[in-house]
Amino acid sequence: MTVADAAKESSTNVKAAVGAVSHAGVPTHFTMTEDEIIAKFPNRLRSYDLFKKMGSPRHIVAPMVDQSELAWRILSRRYGADLCYTPMFHAKLFSDDNPKYRNEQWQTNDEEKPVIVQFCANDPDILLKAAKLVVGQADAVDLNLGCPQRIASRGHYGSFLMEDWDLISRLIRKLHENLEIPVTAKIRVYEDVEKTVAYAKMVEAAGAQIITVHGRLREQKGHKTGLADWDKIKAVKAAVKVPVFANGNILYYEDIQRCMDATNADGVMSAESNLYNPALFSGKILPTWQMAEEYLEICKDIPTRFGYIRAHMFKLFRYSLPIHTDLRQQLGTAKSLEDFRSFVEEMKSRLIEDSKKEDAMVFDPENVEIDALGYRKYPHWICQPALRFEHDKVHSQSKRLLNEALVENATEKPTSDSAETPSCECVSKDTSESDPKRLKISVE
């Protein structure tokens, strides 16, 4: 079935999936027409008007639990990020009368624009209550429909709502009919492109003004992450009228344009690759200690939880800590901003010495060597994506890396038999081990 055929068929699928409908074929929870909504919120931006007001963003930092906090968003913007999402917030905790969770999690300032606040939820009224608390501070509110982690299964949110299109439609529609700022959504894909397109069109019909498509299945996580399917993102983009952001398979700066060319997406979102290389969107190749120093300088002015700082340090120095193992303990026990600065100063001193050793890798940023699988050979003191081996012995004949799979699947539909370096809106902490051949990463 072609993309056009899928889009045509999807209207029937949507009606069947969103519960009770009126005689006119409109879901009964659509209590207002689009004209009535426009009259109620005449100044609220829609679709490409919202996209343009936010500067037509191409480079987007993903929502990441405990990782896309204000200080990190500021750093990312310095290096080419056009739009940032907050971490995923739990709508019920965020809207609680006790503001402790909200005050701990939500930070912004007058200079942070544009920013989209993401919530996970399964109750439309609670979602609306939480969303109203960020009106005037955020450009839009995003509904998380992509989190694949076990906690999302237990809490019945994220990608575990994918079987309940009626609830998803009601969540989005509640905001679309009652919130002063736009609602957007971040989704995953299904096995079938037809169902994926129908799903996206349902989300659009409910009122989502931007859709981010993470081109992986819910099951694609951990060692079964595999490649994101850009073909499905392209099919969604062809079928909907609102802007589409593509998410998945971004390792290097050049991958951004490659993704946009392959999917026709309006922008590209990065999660884990941004954490290991916050300069990703600038195309600059920078030393890890420079990023760490800049981040800590920002944290002097922006109060940031030490757990967040520690996780960022573990990721930035992911390739150096297995070499300078004694510094792992220093980082793990840091209890103040000064402790973190001392750690970075010591690590910087050692890495500079590493770069001067006779057997040190000769590194020319203008002429980076490429290995047999297409990966760039960077010394351990340079910001770079976290690569890991595939450990799915059932589907993999050998330990295979992402770019090997990309070469093999250049003219084929990507499958989950390939390894990759994922990243995830649900990553909350670094649990890396000292073995540099087994890097633990989450799903993008």
pLDDT in tens, 40-89: 999 999 999 999 999 999 999 999 999 999 999 999 999 999 999 999 99
> What is the pLDDT confidence band of residue 366, given thresholds at 50, 70 and 90?
confident
**Residue 423 predicted with pLDDT over 60:** no
User: 3-state class of 185 per DSSP?
Assistant: strand
226 vs 116: CA distance, rounded Å:
28
Asked if residue 361 lies in contact with residue 377, where contact means CB atoms within 8 angstroms, the answer is yes
Residue 350's pLDDT is 97
Residue 120 known to be catalytic: no
109 vs 224: CA distance, rounded Å:
39
**Residue 178 predicted with pLDDT over 50:** yes
Of the listed ranges 37-46, 48-57, 102-111, 331-340, the one predicted with least confidence:
102-111
Residue 442's pLDDT is 32
Residue 72's pLDDT is 98
Please tell me what DSSP assigns to residue 387. P
For residue 167, give the amino acid letter: L
The more confidently predicted of residues 390 and 434 is: 390
Give the other-Cβ count within 10 Å of 306's Cβ: 14
> What is the pLDDT confidence band of residue 34, given thresholds at 50, 70 and 90?
very high
400-405: average pLDDT: 43
Mean pLDDT of the chain: 84
347-365: average pLDDT: 87
Largest Cα separation within the chain, whole Å, is 78
Q: In three state form, how does the secondary structure of 102-148 look? A: HHHHCCCCCCCCCEEEEEECCCHHHHHHHHHCCECCECEEEEEECCC
89-115: average pLDDT: 94
For residue 55, give the amino acid letter: G
Distance of CA 232 to the CA centre of its chain: 17
Provide φ and ψ at 120, rounded to 5°.
Answer: -105, 145
User: 3-state class of 417 per DSSP?
Assistant: coil
Among 100, 112, 165, 168, residue whose Cα is nearest residue 138: 112
Residue 389's pLDDT is 52
Residues 6+ apart with CB under 8 A from 82: 54, 55, 56, 57, 58, 59, 60, 114, 267, 281
C-alpha to C-alpha distances, 157 to 19, 91, 187, 245, nearest whole angstrom: 19, 10, 12, 21
Distance of CA 117 to the CA centre of its chain: 13
The more confidently predicted of residues 248 and 407 is: 248
324 vs 223: CA distance, rounded Å:
27
Query: DSSP per residue over 244-303, as a string?
Result: EEEES---SHHHHHHHHHHH--SEEEESHHHHH-TTGGGT---BHHHHHHHHHHHHHHS-
**Catalytic, out of 84, 120, 147, 424:** 147
Residues 6+ apart with CB under 8 A from 241: 47, 204
The helix, strand and coil proportions of the chain, stated in percent and rounded to the nearest 5, come to 40, 10, 45
